Structure 1
Amino acid sequence: MSIGVQGEQAWGRGRLLAVLAGGLAAVLTVLVGLGFAVYFLLRPGPNGDTRQPDPDAFATQQRGQQHREQVAAAPMMQVPADAALPTGPAAVPGPAIAIPAATTVGPAEVPTGFPHTPEGAVGQLAAIEQAVLQGMSIRQTGAVHRRWALPGGTGVAGWPLTRNVQAFLGAAGMGDRLDPTSTVVVTPKAALVKGTDGPDWVTACVLVQVRATVDRESRMGYGYCEAMAWRGRRWMIAPGAPAAPAPSTWPGSDISKKAGWRTWTTPGEGA
């Protein structure tokens, strides 16, 4: 996943002030202004772009690095900024995906113990994302990246989650960590497996609901993808170029369903 590692996709102070001055609704400025949905504001797509993951991307046999880069970089559905805001559920619920739970705590206090399956890769990515965004600490973000990102990928300074933390803390006028009077709660609500290449490589995508309280509470959906590789009995962030941005939609909404997100469940739930 990437919400953009290129410079023009980072949420700078000038861009933030311009958006705030534009009079957007408070719920949008609090969260988008704090950096969670940068990419779909700065990367407007053509109307009607509803591209979905390519079914051919699901490979049971290893095809190699070129195929992996194509899978990770394949564009996903682009959505308007307000698609991330709270709205009513779809009249007909979309399909579900069962994601296993963590069984232990790993390096940098990140939950782990997920199985060697595509769904396990999704679960591990969500755990990494939760640890970084709920912690909202520059030091913790660096520790998570060091222990969970394999060499050869995006460095910590260009990591999308690092940029989210920097943007949040900067826009909220905090230092290098979350103010104790403020909170960020990140809850996985949907997911999808964008593609695989053999048993040890997956591009996993997670849609979370973000609830931030800085003076007041605001909520939004945030989509995030990463290529994941199985190393040393755990899933880690794979080397290579970052994945294309995922659509940020409100979980369970019509547009979320259209974007291909599957409702997050646990194994056996609803059985």
Structure 2
Amino acid sequence: MSSDISGEAWGRTRLLTVVAGVAAVCVALVVGLGFAVYYALSSSSSAHSADDRPKPVPSPHPTNALGSTHRNEVAAAPMLAVDQSAADPGTPAAVPAPAITIPAGPRTGPAGINTGFPHTPQGAVGQLAAIEAAVLQNMNIATTNQIYDAWALPGGVGVAKWPLMQNVQAFLGSAQMGSQIDPTNTVVATPQGAQIKGTDGPDWTVACVLMQVRASISKDAQIGYGYCERMQWSNGRWMIAPGAPAAHAPSTWPGTEVSKKAGWLTWSGAGADN
């Protein structure tokens, strides 16, 4: 596996923290639980701390579209920098974060992904969660290509540089599985938090989803994984929008104080274990 993929994706140091004491073959497999956490941390300046706040983004929810400059500013604005351990299971906050209600996708769309989410920022969050969960739970190179082709508009980074594809590559490469997950193993991704980082008119949103991700081999290991994506309304559905990837989202264990501090709202609605 090339160093560029492992750097962009999950990182072996996360594995050692998450699955210490697991047998060697299991250690190789659950490297997938590191996701983009390691890359996000290594890409952040060492001067950042868990007390850092995202830089302000002008007019985060304008009614009228402002265009590409504003969109790039919203997407690139850094989010809260958190310590690597924030993604591990932790103590729940005494006062939960406010809820955000995410609608369901009532029908199956291209590449088998749920669709029909409403033309709202919350609908964009729901669509992103459906795309992300399908990629992570399938852990299949061919399926990930199909999903990206069906759901990404022209002008993006391309499937080879898509962070979710790089997560799949890192998982499969570390486990020496070939191009898809062994059927005896499972990955389950459940949305537990969300935030709407910014919008530009009614047709463009940076949607963010906080997943609780569990891999099961001979024992379970789990982390929280935050992910953001530009989303654009096109042809009656939310799709992955063109442009550079959004800044890395903070990966925190759902429901903790640091998760609240990072801006994650409690997921309410379709897909979560409420």
Q: Does 1:42 align with 2:45?
A: no
Task: Find the aligned partners of 1:94 and 1:250 in 2 and give their Cα distance.
Answer: 13
Task: Find the aligned partners of 2:248 and 2:43 in 1 and give their Cα distance.
Answer: 9
1:93 to partner: Cα distance: 1.0
Indicate if the aligned counterparts of 2:153 and 2:239 stay in contact, CA closer than 8 A: yes
1:105 to 98, 104, 108: 108
Q: For residue 10 of structure 1, what is the aligned residue in structure 2?
A: 8
Tell me the amino acid that sits aligned with residue 222 of structure 2: R
1:81 to 81, 84, 89: 84
**SS in structure 1 of the partner of residue 250 of structure 2:** coil
- CA deviation map 1:44-68 (0-9, x unaligned): 4412312266472111111001110
Indicate if the aligned counterparts of 2:204 and 2:233 stay in contact, CA closer than 8 A: yes
Going from structure 1 to structure 2, the CA distance change for 1:31 and 1:53 (only over 3 Å counts) comes to farther
TM-score, with structure 1 as normaliser: 0.88
Task: Find the aligned partners of 1:62 and 1:143 in 2 and give their Cα distance.
Answer: 30
1:155 to 152, 155, 158: 158
Give the gaps of 5 or more residues in structure 2: 22-26
Going from structure 1 to structure 2, the CA distance change for 1:85 and 1:194 (only over 3 Å counts) comes to same
Instruction: Supply the RMSD in Å over aligned alpha carbons.
Output: 2.4
1:23 to partner: Cα distance: 5.6
Going from structure 1 to structure 2, the CA distance change for 1:33 and 1:7 (only over 3 Å counts) comes to closer
Which is bigger in relative contact order (C-alpha 8 A, separation at least 6)? 1
TM-score, with structure 2 as normaliser: 0.87
Q: For residue 191 of structure 1, what is the aligned residue in structure 2?
A: 194
Task: Find the aligned partners of 2:227 and 2:18 in 1 and give their Cα distance.
Answer: 23
Q: For residue 174 of structure 1, what is the aligned residue in structure 2?
A: 177
Give the gaps of 5 or more residues in structure 1: 1-5
Q: For residue 3 of structure 1, what is the aligned residue in structure 2?
A: none
1:27 to partner: Cα distance: 5.9
Q: For residue 215 of structure 2, what is the aligned residue in structure 1?
A: 212
Task: Find the aligned partners of 2:133 and 2:230 in 1 and give their Cα distance.
Answer: 17
**Structure 2 counterparts to residues 108-147 of structure 1, below 5 A:** 108-147=111-150
- CA deviation map 1:85-110 (0-9, x unaligned): 00111011111100000110000000
- CA deviation map 1:170-214 (0-9, x unaligned): 112211001011000000000000000000000000000000113
| Percent identity for Structure 1 against Structure 2 | 55
